[in-house]
């Protein structure tokens, strides 16, 4: 493999085995500056900030994924297959879709439904079910209990669209109503592609999401509230990385 790749200006030694992956480059910068020691910028191609440092003595990297499955599909593929990364933990936001979750709750995504055609690129003769790695899932849930966080483990929907006309649903209903009937907790835009890339690469992935707004109640966090609320999710992800490294 010739380095750098078209999207990551680094070499494998620049990354830790576990990478936290927020969507927003500025959130990656925030995590690096506020939680990591001796954080070093290892990538900034197209403004996608990537850093490596230590948290409680454990090497950890954090790099943005951008928005949507095509974007996280590129970055997670390259990290898994070209840079020796073993674990990617997505840290992002989700829209709540049912009464089980409230704004500020954390969703640990056990599975990720999708309306995307991303799975078709693997030429499978059926429907693939994107799921999280069990060890990552179980470890993060245990830590969330220890931290006394308000969290729910379950299914999310990774959507290809943020705005849509809801043309293909029964009259009087939205696509969110239909997913809610199946017990889906929230909607986001990246986890399914991440889980598929991890499965194909033989690596591990998990999405830990903070509910930033709610499709049923209409409640939504301000920008400042998001920043303050998201720190629990960040700490949970970092603690998961540490425990993973020490087991």
The DSSP secondary-structure symbol of 131 reads B
| The token pair that represents 104 in the structure block | 């500020």
Cis preceding-peptide flag for 4 (omega within 30 of 0): yes
| The token pair that represents 120 in the structure block | 């078709």
Cα–Cα distances (Å) from 90 to 156, 168, 233, in that order, read 13, 30, 10
| The token pair that represents 98 in the structure block | 């049912």
**Residue 94, beta-bridge partner list:** 211
Active site residues: 213
**For residue 232, what are the contacts with CB-CB under 8 A and spacing of at least 6?**
106, 147, 149, 210
Angle between helices 223-246 and 25-35 (to 10 degrees): 60
Say how many Å lie between the first and final Cα of the chain, rounded: 31
As a whole number of angstroms, the distance between CA 226 and CA 148 comes to 19
């Amino acid at each position: 493999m010739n380095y750098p790749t078209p999207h990551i200006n680094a070499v494998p030694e620049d990354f830790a085995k576990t990478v936290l992956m927020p969507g927003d480059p500025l959130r990656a910068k925030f995590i690096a500056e506020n939680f990591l020691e001796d954080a070093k910028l290892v990538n900034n191609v197209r403004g996608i900030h990537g850093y490596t440092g230590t948290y409680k003595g454990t090497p950890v990297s954090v790099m943005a994924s951008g928005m949507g499955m095509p974007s996280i599909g590129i970055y997670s593929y390259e990290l898994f297959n070209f840079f020796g990364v073993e674990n990617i933990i997505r840290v992002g936001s989700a829209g709540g879709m049912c009464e089980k979750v409230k704004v500020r709750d954390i969703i640990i995504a056990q599975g990720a439904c999708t309306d995307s055609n991303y799975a078709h690129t693997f030429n499978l003769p059926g429907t693939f079910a994107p799921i999280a790695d069990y060890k990552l899932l179980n470890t993060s849930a245990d830590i969330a209990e220890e931290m006394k966080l308000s969290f729910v483990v379950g299914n999310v929907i990774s959507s290809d669209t943020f705005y849509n006309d809801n043309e293909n649903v029964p009259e009087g209903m939205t696509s969110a109503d239909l997913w809610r009937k199946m017990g889906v907790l929230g909607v986001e835009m990246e986890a399914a592609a991440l889980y598929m890339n991890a499965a194909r690469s033989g690596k591990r992935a998990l999405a830990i999401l903070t509910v930033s707004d709610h499709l049923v109640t209409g409640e939504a966090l301000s920008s400042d509230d998001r920043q303050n609320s998201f720190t629990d999710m960040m700490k949970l992800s970092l603690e998961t990385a540490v425990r993973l490294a020490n087991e």
